Amino acid sequence: MSDLTKMSAAQLAKAIAGKEASAVEVAQAHLDRIDAVDERVHAFLHVDREGALAAAAAVDAGEVTGPLAGVPVAVKDVIATKGVPTTAASKILEGWRPPYDATIVERLRAAGTVMLGKTNMDEFAMGSSTEYSAYGATNNPWDLGRIPGGSGGGSAAAIAAYEAPLAIGTDTGGSIRQPGAVTGTVGAKPTYGGTSRYGLIAFSSSLDTPGPCARNVEDAALLHAAIAGHDWRDSTSIPQPVPDVVGAARLGATGDLSGVKLGVVKEFAGDGSEPGVLSAFHESLEALVKLGAEIVEVSCPHFQYALPAYYLIAPSEASSNLARFDGVRYGLRVGDDGNRSLEEVMSLTREAGFGPEVKRRIILGTYALSSGYYDAYYGQAQKVRTLITRDFEAAFERVDVLVSPTTPFVAFPFGSRTSDPYQMYLADLFTIPTNLYGGPAISVPCGLSEGLPVGFQVMAPTLADDRMYRVAAALESSVGTLTPPAL
């Protein structure tokens, strides 16, 4: 492995700006690393060698500048990239080349980054392990027999395996943070509406949030700053300035948390987590106290209903959003023999194109929205969402941020949670409340359990994304970053 692939995004940007390394050299080093390891990791669904080298050459020629000029980035395959295959890891979009770029892809380019390719995920971002990808799972660089988390397991694994220093994920119920936790990397979900959804293939529109994946907190903040901000093409985009997340990460890295109050959610403290996860979490709390933070126990009594509410709201929105895959405008069409009707062709196309978890969620969402069940399921889940938001608001009157383990268990072996879909859903137990509330949250590595990474989650109030970066960077300054065994 060349040193270029081990460098942070901040270091690479500096080296390229100072002409110590060329952007082409940096891109080539990462493409070589992908060639060397991705057969085993399978983080990428598509590698855009020509595009990456051309973008890097433009940086070297001085045609492209920006704060991350020449820094490679991998993009989750649920995000539209003009002319570059975009499948959302589904057979229904196999071979689709979007005719436009997502806003965040435009912004990545404006920041000077070099896109290496598209990363693997659970189909349509529905899952916690990448086992629901239609193109085969991604393997965790820490142990190739275990899951890399999901849905954004490809993005997290790519950076953990040094195939890219930065990656973009999307977080609907934990799809950035849980993969970050189980691969020993940093993953941040910005405030909902803080990053544009234009060009993101919709799963659950009131929850989907694109965000950064990186190997350290400062790099995550740099990527966050590059993609965030108002977008007129997304009407849920927040028309307010982006908090200074980079400044907050650098402040946190000084290791001083004097006067910062951390709320430990009582309801997340006990049952459900593996003992090794809990002990790493408690050691992290002690480390944060040594940096000056104060620990306050808070109660969020409705958090226990977040998972059930989420699994009504998200599938309901998905059942509507995924109606667009009808075999007419893009993607697969099956059974069009000249005799069958549109409806028959549509049903055969969707049956052939969607995987089992997507079908389950479409059926579940259709059920929850049906007349007769709407009030008891979808309507009630929306009320519970209000109560969860009130729990957050009450907690943030007493503390600056809330903290918890990111996910109850370390990376699990393949196949151990696919037979009972609800067991898979439990991976998102601690990440989902934030999505329902809409605030920002970050997962930062905090230690090992059974030799596998554990993530520490920091949840902040809406639009206070800077706060979570400060606390995460402070923890990182104390416990350090994690390095997986050599592949």
**Those residues with Cβ within 8 angstroms of residue 130's Cβ, 6 or more apart along the chain or in another chain:** 89, 120, 121, 122, 137, 138, 147, 148, 149, 150, 151, 153, 154
Asked if residues 484 and 34 have their Cβ atoms less than 8 Å apart, the reply is: no
Confirm whether 449 is a catalytic residue: no
E strand or H helix at 76: strand 72-76
Is the CB of 123 or the CB of 143 nearer to another protein? Answer: 123
- What is the distance between the alpha carbons of residues 262 and 293, in angstroms, rounded to a whole number? 7
* Annotated catalytic residue within 133, 175, 273, 316: 175
Count Cβ neighbours within 10 Å for each residue of 371-396 and write b for 16 or more, e otherwise.
eeeeeebbebbeebbebbbebbeebb
Is the CB of 166 or the CB of 384 nearer to another protein? Answer: 384
* Annotated catalytic residue within 8, 76, 128, 237: 76
* Annotated catalytic residue within 151, 155, 319, 443: 151
Beta carbon of residue 2, minimum distance to another protein (angstroms, whole number): 38
Instruction: For residue 18, give both structure tokens.
Output: 């100072």
Q: Residue 244 corresponds to which amino acid?
A: D
Confirm whether 237 is a catalytic residue: no
Beta carbon of residue 330, minimum distance to another protein (angstroms, whole number): 3
- What is the distance between the alpha carbons of residues 205 and 438, in angstroms, rounded to a whole number? 12
- What is the distance between the alpha carbons of residues 126 and 165, in angstroms, rounded to a whole number? 25
Is the CB of 119 or the CB of 435 nearer to another protein? Answer: 435
Confirm whether 151 is a catalytic residue: yes
Is the CB of 114 or the CB of 126 nearer to another protein? Answer: 126
- What is the distance between the alpha carbons of residues 130 and 126, in angstroms, rounded to a whole number? 9
**Those residues with Cβ within 8 angstroms of residue 485's Cβ, 6 or more apart along the chain or in another chain:** 142
- Active-site positions? 76, 151, 175
